[in-house]
Amino acid sequence: MKHRPLTFDAFRLAREGGVLEGTLDVAAASRLADRVSDRIADGAATVDWRIEGANDVAGRPALLVSLRGIVPLTCQRCLSEFALPVEQQTMTVLARSEADADTLDADSDDEVLVADHPMDPVGLIEDELLLTLPYAPMHDVGACVVAGGEGTRS
């Protein structure tokens, strides 16, 4: 594991408009191990991430989390690997406690994150990525690898 021990204060990042950036090696992310394929070439499984301190439309402290990269998955129909491009931005409102989070959840469409402790950026990114990945990843219709090698399309 090459997790950096660095943590950050989410409310402070939001207040100061700070930015954290990095690159996640998907193959080395232990919490993603059950969900991603390990049979893919080195360097083909990284996600660039960015956590930006912000405010939501109501002016509440929030984090804008951006992910962009490639995640290797195993197709549940033909069991061969394919690379899922990931590109998304999520606005996450910050809560000071679980009770605070319940209140925010009730009147916001955004995700809510309880940030009552120093946050691990890599853990946060792994969580976001897990939410993004399909439960039953599959090739597009017709793109599956047929046993015997025929019908392989890319």
Which residues of the shown chain bind Zn ion in the complex (CB under 5 A)? Answer: 75, 77-78, 139, 144
Distance, in Å, from the CA atom of 74 to the CA atom of 137, rounded to the nearest integer, reads 7
Task: Give the up-direction half-sphere exposure of residue 1: CA atoms within 13 A in the CB hemisphere.
Answer: 10
Shorter beta-carbon distance to Zn ion: residue 99 or 146: 146
Contact 36, 26 (CB under 8 A): yes
Shorter beta-carbon distance to Zn ion: residue 118 or 151: 151
Distance, in Å, from the CA atom of 118 to the CA atom of 131, rounded to the nearest integer, reads 21
The nearest distance, CB 38 to Zn ion, in angstroms, is 17
Find the residue with minimal CB distance to Zn ion.
75
Distance, in Å, from the CA atom of 97 to the CA atom of 121, rounded to the nearest integer, reads 19
Q: Which helix (H) or strand (E) holds 12?
A: helix 10-16
Shorter beta-carbon distance to Zn ion: residue 40 or 75: 75
Q: Amino acid identity, residue 70?
A: I
The nearest distance, CB 130 to Zn ion, in angstroms, is 21
The nearest distance, CB 39 to Zn ion, in angstroms, is 14
The nearest distance, CB 79 to Zn ion, in angstroms, is 7
Shorter beta-carbon distance to Zn ion: residue 53 or 72: 72
